[in-house]
Amino acid sequence: MFGIARNLWLYIARRFIANIALVLVVVCGIIFSIECIENLRRATNDDKPLEIVFVLSSLRLPWLAEQVMPFALLIAAMMTFLTLGRSHELTVARSTGMSVWQFTQPVLLLAAVFGVLSTVALNPMASSLLGRHGELMEQIFQGGTGEQENRWLRQGSGRADGGSSVLFARSSRNLGRRLSGVSVFVYDASGAFERRIEAQAAELGTGTWYLTKAWTFVPQQKPVFSESAELATSLTPEQAGESLANPAFVSFWALSRQITASEQAGLNADAFRLQYQVLLARPLLYVAMAVIAASVSLRLFRFGNVGRMILGGIGAGFLLYVGGKVTGDLGSVGAISAVAAAWTPALVAFFLGTTVLLFQEDG
């Protein structure tokens, strides 16, 4: 009996792995084609070499694959259970005394493993390549990915006498190192206002912001215009990038450090705390997707309504996605805690799916 259970476990696991690989190849192939078409249009319009099309599309592919992974897992799990049900292999398994929890175990465990790998391996790679994509877009098309808009940053003056400044940028690119629409409010060591600077753009060097087309406003003095100006700062390029970067550009392994850097810079770190908790909750989210797939697939060939149940599974996955976005938006602005925003949708989906399976299989 143990040998039969082990062989069936491995058989189901292999089927699930093959299905998720198939779904990912198809979905990522479609996404890659769309990316190539868009980049080809831009390259043609800007008279750029066509080889950059493949490079830019490839750099964004891991991040896009990370976004579609939950739905790919849901579809792959449904395919696995549907195939096993259609061939009556699950009926045979039930006849040997196996419960639903035994033959869903391979899929659930593998879903958790995929969730862990997605967090600790895929996310860091995708974040790194996405940042490289933004840099290339900046270099090639003079326009990055629009990482952040309307950002505030408090920084030390970098001067021996102390002081600080508050910097506002309408947009940031190149991981926060290049800013546009810059306003700077400079204060002395006692906290008294010194001057305001309005600049078209700013680029961070070593200990200095290099400002372009800057107006300087000092109380009771005439405004002064300069084609270029410098502003001392205590920020390093890495700290600025961490403070101004989009959470999607920050690796899972760097998020804790980034949260600390944001707090030290006087920024609200709620969005980064949320991203950290979302990544921690990802294994549970993937397991919840597998439970949903099982709840809508295992009863098909005993009760019929195949099409309706498949649509129900896809609809449930979509509702889980929408619920995650809603709680995520609330968590990113501090309306609810990051832990609640990240873990609640996955927990609710998991317990609802488990309840449905219990009702279907155990009465």
Per residue in 217-260, pLDDT (tens digit) is 998 889 999 999 998 887 776 666 656 667 777 889 988 887 88
Per-residue pLDDT band at 354 (split at 50, 70, 90) = confident
Q: What is the pTM of this model?
A: 0.77
Task: Write the CB contacts of 72 (distance below 8 Å, at least 6 apart in sequence).
Answer: 20, 23, 24, 27
> Of the residues 244, 279, 303, which one is the last residue of a structural domain?
244
C-beta separation of 310 from 322 below 8 A: no
Relative to beta strand 193-204, strand 208-217 is: antiparallel
Ordered alpha helix ranges (H), 46-88: 51-86
Q: Are residues 179 and 292 in the same domain?
A: no
Per-residue pLDDT band at 278 (split at 50, 70, 90) = very high
Q: Are residues 40 and 125 in the same domain?
A: yes
Per residue in 155-179, pLDDT (tens digit) is 776 565 667 888 888 877 765 778 8
Task: Write the CB contacts of 76 (distance below 8 Å, at least 6 apart in sequence).
Answer: 16, 19, 20, 22, 23
Determine what percent of the chain is predicted with pLDDT higher than 70. 83
Q: Are residues 324 and 175 in the same domain?
A: no
* 260 found inside a domain: no
Range of the domain at 167: 148-244
Per residue in 110-122, pLDDT (tens digit) is 999 999 999 999 9
Q: How far apart are CA 139 and CA 24, in angstroms?
A: 31
Q: Are residues 10 and 120 in the same domain?
A: yes
Averaged pLDDT score across all residues of the chain:
82
Q: Are residues 82 and 173 in the same domain?
A: no
* 259 found inside a domain: no
Highest mean pLDDT among 7-21, 44-58, 311-325, 349-363: 7-21
* 262 found inside a domain: no
Q: Are residues 131 and 230 in the same domain?
A: no
